């Protein structure tokens, strides 16, 4: 992964830059992979939230509605 250095060798700017670029590339790959999964989970969660709110509101409306009976005389 990283080359071993002796006690007298100095770390150059190119070494640091190369290491940071490899870390950045790895992080970008991980973000790209997880972005689609996170988006799909958000869509499914939003759909479930909307459906549950709709069903709970419908149930509440049925419980509170008045039943009116009309009879012909």
> pTM, whole model, 2 decimals?
0.47
Residues of the chain with pLDDT under 50: none
Please tell me the predicted confidence (pLDDT) of residue 60.
73
Please tell me the predicted confidence (pLDDT) of residue 5.
67
Please tell me the predicted confidence (pLDDT) of residue 54.
92
Q: Where are the domains of the chain?
A: 36-65
Q: Which residues of 2-13 are buried (b: 16+ CB within 10 A; e: fewer)?
A: eeeeeeeeeeee
> Within the chain, what is the greatest distance between any pair of CA atoms?
110
């Amino acid at each position: 992964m990283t080359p071993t250095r002796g006690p007298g060798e100095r770390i150059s700017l190119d070494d640091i830059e190369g290491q940071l670029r490899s870390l950045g590339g790895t992080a970008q790959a991980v973000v790209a992979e997880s972005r689609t999964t996170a988006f799909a989970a958000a869509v499914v969660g939003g759909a479930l939230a909307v459906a549950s709110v709709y069903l709970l509101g419908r149930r509440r409306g049925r419980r509170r509605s008045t039943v009116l009976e009309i009879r012909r005389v």
